[in-house]
Amino acid sequence: MTYDVHIIGGGLAGSEAAWQLARRGISVRLSEMRGSGEMTPAHQTDGLAELVCSNSFRSDDDENNAVGLLHHEMRQMDSLVMRAGEVARVPAGSAMAVDRDVFSAEVQKTLIEHPKVDIVRERVDQLPGAGLTIVATGPLTAQSLAENIVTATGEERLAFFDAIAPIVHRDSIDMDIAWIQSRWNKRTEASNEEGDYINCPMTQEQYLAFHRGLIEGDKTEFKDWEKDTPYFDGCMPIEVMAARGVDTLRFGPMKPVGLDNPNDVTEEFPQGRWPYAVVQLRQDNKLGTLWNMVGFQTKLKYGAQVELFRTIPGLEKAEFARLGGLHRNTFLNSPSVLDRQLRLKSAPHVRFAGQVTGCEGYVESAAVGLIAGMMASSELTGRDWSPPPASTAIGALLSHITGDAAADTFQPMNVNFGLFPPLHEVKKKQRKQAYTSRAKSDLRAWLAASETVAA
């Protein structure tokens, strides 16, 4: 069968992209390596859109939760993943959970029965040299293709681990304790006027207790299949560094020199004394709503992270947009290598979708597949296409991965309200509902304008 678009990878993103193209009358070759004798280390079956771990699509609350809002938006855009999710739904309170076998079977049946979709069980080892392509091979992209992607993008642009430092919502940091300053007040052209880091000061006593907490805290273990993947010194978990010596962190990421604490002023130090140790946060998105804890990638369990990091002065009430982690995960440095339409800048016939773009989660991966399908469809039919506004969940996620995130600290991201243009004028308690109601109305307007209303 000849085809208009070649999709590589039949997971959440690839299946959704195939559906979005097929329902617009565009023919697709969907190459999936499982079923050809190949397997990833996490998948168990040959089924399309297999959920590799939990069976939950997380919150379905579209008024107070960003992922619930994303569900809503995907339903408006006739998402196959959301449709199949409804068929496979099992009770889970306000969350949306599914029977994974029923879900995968429903996605697969829909695509097999669609005359515009040709599912081919094959492993693809090279990016096609021509023809519209969507690569949706996920966090466990087969090695041969990953190597070819490295050749196309450059070695620094494809990561094999996400070494995630926790990311904190700016408005949950206590700025009566923390302060903004760059070390030695150094500036670059891109610097903010006040300085580029939020600094949280620690006394010796607080530092020693914190150091003990890192060493003694509950950690997650690498899975067997993750142990062999090399990771670099730059990804070293903070607790591993802490175990090298009590002062290692004070000479590393928690170094206090050149940072004058304005809340600790003496006659001798009228500009403020240097603390004993410091935790620094650096801006993580253009909006300035998210800040990441520099050097704090960790394998501490989530509960232990929240408990320990809230002992840091200034972060007592921290709300985390995401917690730290270290996992096997193949993903691109999308803000630097992809354009705003998910196309590889060096080979624009190739688009990427799903977790390999640096979004994270079943729903987010499917959403990026959905939007990649829409983009490819517009490109083929020669229609102008503008992305959904950043005030929608799908638009916020897309903006983040295609340029709004800081490229040098880019790590996979779930959808969350910190990605949305802020509504500072709305009281904090009412903000979530304000975000969701603005998003719904903006999505409606965008859908009407782009004539992509659900069939």
Ligand X SMILES: Cc1cc2nc3c(=O)[nH]c(=O)nc-3n(C[C@H](O)[C@H](O)[C@H](O)COP(=O)(O)OP(=O)(O)OC[C@H]3O[C@@H](n4cnc5c(N)ncnc54)[C@H](O)[C@@H]3O)c2cc1C
Residues near ligand X, by CB under 6 A: 8-14, 31-34, 40, 42-43, 52-54, 123-124, 136-142, 145, 354-356, 360-362, 365
CB 417 → ligand X: shortest distance, Å? Answer: 18
Nearer to ligand X, 143 or 192 (CB): 143
Phi, psi of 300 (to 5 degrees): -65, 145
Nearer to ligand X, 162 or 239 (CB): 162
Long-range contact set of residues 109-115: C-beta below 8 Å, sequence gap at least 24: 110/19, 110/80, 110/83, 110/84, 111/15, 111/18, 111/19, 111/22, 111/30, 111/48, 111/80, 114/19, 114/22
Identify the residue whose tokens are 């509902």: 433
- Tokens representing 199 are 């600094």
CB 224 → ligand X: shortest distance, Å? Answer: 12
CB 77 → ligand X: shortest distance, Å? Answer: 17
CB 370 → ligand X: shortest distance, Å? Answer: 11
- Parallel, antiparallel, or unpaired for β 133-135 and 343-344? unpaired
Among all residues, whose Cβ is closest to ligand X?
11
Nearer to ligand X, 330 or 391 (CB): 330
Nearer to ligand X, 83 or 123 (CB): 123
Nearer to ligand X, 31 or 402 (CB): 31
CA distance 283 to 298: 19
CB 80 → ligand X: shortest distance, Å? Answer: 12
- Parallel, antiparallel, or unpaired for β 117-121 and 28-32? parallel
CB 120 → ligand X: shortest distance, Å? Answer: 9
State CA 90 to chain mean position distance: 26
Nearer to ligand X, 44 or 386 (CB): 44
- Tokens representing 331 are 């993903």
CB 305 → ligand X: shortest distance, Å? Answer: 18
Report the DSSP beta bridge partners of residue 277. Answer: 202
CA distance 420 to 449: 21
Nearer to ligand X, 110 or 182 (CB): 110
Asked whether the beta carbons of 346 and 352 are under 8 A apart, the reply is: no
Nearer to ligand X, 126 or 430 (CB): 126
State CA 307 to chain mean position distance: 23
Number of H helices, E strands in the chain: 12, 17
CB 294 → ligand X: shortest distance, Å? Answer: 25
Long-range contact set of residues 432-435: C-beta below 8 Å, sequence gap at least 24: 432/63, 432/64, 432/65, 433/63, 433/64, 435/66, 435/69, 435/391
CB 352 → ligand X: shortest distance, Å? Answer: 9
Asked whether the beta carbons of 194 and 181 are under 8 A apart, the reply is: yes
- Tokens representing 350 are 């190739």
> Which stretches of 71-164 are assigned E, i.e. beta strand?
89-90, 95-98, 117-121, 133-135, 158-164
CA distance 332 to 345: 12
- Tokens representing 385 are 């296409």
Nearer to ligand X, 127 or 439 (CB): 127
Nearer to ligand X, 12 or 405 (CB): 12
CB 357 → ligand X: shortest distance, Å? Answer: 8
CA distance 83 to 85: 5
Nearer to ligand X, 40 or 181 (CB): 40
CB 413 → ligand X: shortest distance, Å? Answer: 12
